[in-house]
Amino acid sequence: MDTLWNRLLTLIGENQLVELLGKTILSLIVLALFIVLGRVLRNMVRRVVNRTSRNANLPILLSNLVYVAMIIVAVLAILSIYTGAGLSTLLTLFGLVSLAISLSVQDILKNFVSGVYLLLEQPFSIGDRVKVRDVEGMVENIEIRTTQIHTDDGVQIFIPNSIVFAEIVTNRTAYRHRLTTIRFSMPLEGKSFEEFSREVKTIVGEFDQAKVSEDPAPQVFVETVVAKLFNCKLDLWSPVSAPTTTASDVILALVKGIPEMEVTGVTAAAASPATAK
C-alpha cells in the first residue's frame, strides 16, 4: 500500500493528489445530495400533480423528468468541480456528449421519446386492461423506457415503449361497459319467438347490475330460421369491472331456466363510444 501511495505521489505530486481526492469526495457528496433531492422532488411533484390533475399519466411523466433533470445538474456540477469550467463551456460540452450518446443509444432514446408520448397522449392509464401483440393484462406502471403489464396468470411483463407506441393497442377498459354476445337455438314449436325472448330477458334481468347492466338493456334477435329452429343471439352489456365468469353464469342460468335452449357460442368485445353509457 505504501509503495502504491509513493508511486502516486511520484506521478502526480502530493498537492495534486490531495486536490484530486478532495474533488472526488466533494463530487460523491454532490452526487448523493442530488440523488436524494431528485427523489424527494419526484415524490413531491407526483403528489402535487395527482391532486391537481385528472390526467393519471401526467404525474409520472413530470416526476420522472424532474428526477432526470436533477441527475443532469449533478453531472454538470461534478464536471465543474473537476475541470473548473464555466456554465457555458459545460453546456457546450454537454451538448456534444449528448449528441455522441444519442447516436450510440438510439434504442434507449426511442423508448424514452415513445414513453413521453404515451404519458402525454394517454391511450391507456394505469389500471387499464390492454393487449399489445400477444400480451394481455393490466397496466401496472408506465416508465420512461418500458410499460409494465401484469397478466392474468400472474406474470409481470416489461414491454419497450417503442413497441407499445408503434403497435395496435387494444384497451379493453376504455369505456364503462363491455358487450357479450351469446348465440343459441330454440325450437319453433310450442312457443313464439316473443315468448322465448321474454323468458330470456327475465332470466338475464335477475342478475345484479354488477354483472349485467340495465342500460343498455339486454336484447334478443333472430339471426336465421333453419330446420324448425330459431337461431338467435343475446346481446348484453356488463361493467368492465364485472367478474370474468359473468358469461358462464348467464349461460348456466339460461340453460337451467329454459331446458330446450341450446347454446351454440359466445363472444366478448370491447364497447364502442356510440353504445357505451
pLDDT at 117: 77
Task: Determine contact, residues 44/54, Cβ cutoff 8 Å.
Answer: no
What global pTM score does this model have?
0.46
pLDDT at 100: 53
Cα 271–chain centre separation: 19
Instruction: Identify the sign of the CA torsion 77, 79, 80, 86.
Output: negative
Domains for the chain: give ranges and CATH numbers: 2-104 (no CATH), 119-171 (2.30.30.60), 177-270 (3.30.70.60)
Alpha-helical regions (H) of the chain: 2-12, 14-52, 58-83, 87-104, 106-121, 161-166, 193-205, 246-257
pLDDT at 22: 74
pLDDT at 234: 92
> Which three cell numbers mark 140?
401496472
Q: How far is CA 246 from CA 182, 259, 275, in A?
A: 12, 20, 20
Mean pLDDT of each 10-residue bin along the chain, 277 residues long:
56 61 79 85 80 64 78 76 64 60 62 76 81 88 84 88 86 77 85 87 89 86 86 88 85 90 78 39
Cα 209–chain centre separation: 27
pLDDT at 204: 92
pLDDT at 183: 92
pLDDT at 159: 92
**β-pair type (177-187, 262-270):** antiparallel
